[in-house]
Amino acid sequence: MDALFYLLGVVIFALAILVSIGLHELGHMIPAKRFGGKVTQYFIGFGPTVWSKRIGETEYGLKAIPLGGYVKIVGMLPPGAAELADEVTTDTAGNQVVRVRKSNTGMFTQLISDARAAEWETITPADTDRLFYKMAWWKKVIVMAGGPTVNIAIAFLIFGGVFATYGNLSDPKPYTPVVSTVVDCVLPATEADRPCESSDPVAPAKAAGIEVGDRIVSFNGSPFTTWEALQREIRANDDGAATIVVERDGEELTLSTNTTVTARPTSETDADLTQVGFLGVSPTPDGLNTGGPIYTVEQMGRMTKDTVAALGTLPMKVWDVGEAIVGLEERDPNGPVSIVGGGRIAGETVSHEAFPVKEKTVFLLMLVAGFNLFIGLFNFIPLLPLDGGHIAGALWEAIRRGFARLRGRPDPGYVDVARLLPIAYGVASVLLVMGVVLIVGDLVVPVRLT
């Protein structure tokens, strides 16, 4: 049964990502067609075609490797006629001489030439006014930004729904000084999971008679309303006497004990141990913060900031995954994962017996939303072959033409993104290598929930 639930989680995640990819490509195709562009292909996946059907001038279909998708918009690359133009000069006798420029046969030039040729093989005279590179710069921006914007919109809708109904898992409300746990003995922080033994000292809270459900009102005469304030008082008390007032069943009781000194982490995010006063109680979480659209925008702004920072260290993180694959270090549980890794996490979530159905659903939704946010932001990176590279080219075209008009100079024409193809192929190669490393890592040294 666990294997069946695991498979169910993987399938749900895979379908959600495929739907996200399909919507991403629609974000490109719909505005391209609305602006008069010609879209000849709309495919989800790469590699051999599994199924396709032509509707009008567009072929829709699925391919065998479901790790992406694409739409084919006619005329992405200009013909480059300026590079092949003849140079007209005049000789000493006043006669015109036509000097044909020789084609550069360098590797990169040939690569660009081949790409142009492949692009223009499918273009007919009837397509002259429907070519993408001839669109106004702002139309190009809308077409290329449409895909990643859809992913961000998907993330917003999912995050917004979860935040409004269930709450934000990463934004819990402050703990309240209501006791949720009373430990029986004092154990070292490194052995906190083992059972108490007869040689272990009784925890001060246990000795004082504190019970689960008690609300701690004051500590050594100091009142407070938050767990953090109480924790500071306990830690600063070292092994001194402690007079504790608790509220139980509507009555206040005064209890006495002595706190003890033990090594504990300095905070939830810092594992360094420090000798502090110890009582032996845990607080009660007060739920999760909820909010509407404005709250969701604020939270996604924070996530965007964190994602952008993570993108800057992505190559190094992938390198660390490579070292984990060969056994040089442990896999970072907070490091990047591929879609394969996301599927494994989804499978473990659904098959985990300790998670209620509601929590499993919320976790899967957050996982899908997180992937969509990352995909959207990643595609805005201003490098070809990513969508952001085409957006950057369109914006540069607008700037260049604007400056030309201001200076009264001739129109410099369209930006030739084909000249950047060597960079695009280099970026694509790096992305392919990183993707393969992450997939292998997710198969060999996967990130697990526990």
Active site residues per annotation: 25
Pairing status of strand 87-90 against strand 176-182: unpaired
DSSP character string of 408-449: TPPP-----GGGGHHHHHHHHHHHHHHHHHHHHHHHHS----
The token pair that represents 42 in the structure block: 């709309």
Backbone angles phi, psi at 446, to 5 degrees: -70, 155
Residue 380: φ, ψ to 5° = -85, -5
Token pair 């399909």 is at which residue?
22
How far is Cα 24 from Cα 36, in angstroms, rounded to an integer?
19
How far apart are the C-alpha atoms of 168 and 162, rounded to whole Å? 7
Rounded alpha-carbon distances, angstroms, from residue 127 to 75, 122, 130: 9, 10, 5
The C-alpha angle 425, 430, 435, rounded to 5 degrees, equals: 120
For 248, the token pair is 């139980």
Instruction: Compute CA distances 38 → 176, 282, 319, 398, whole Å.
Output: 61, 63, 41, 22
**Phi, psi for residue 117 in degrees, rounded to 5:** -60, -45
Angle between helices 2-34 and 357-379 (to 10 degrees): 40
Select from 38, 280, 4 the least CA-distant residue to 135. Answer: 38
The DSSP 8-state label assigned to residue 135 in this structure reads: S
Report d(CA 281, CA 215) in Å as an integer: 11
Residue 362: half-sphere exposure toward Cβ, Cα within 13 Å: 17
The answer to whether 244 touches 230, Cβ cutoff 8 Å, is no
Copy the structure tokens of residue 365: 């939704």
Provide the Cα torsion 387, 392, 397, 398; round to 10°: 110
Beta-carbon contacts of residue 117 (< 8 Å; ≥ 6 apart): none
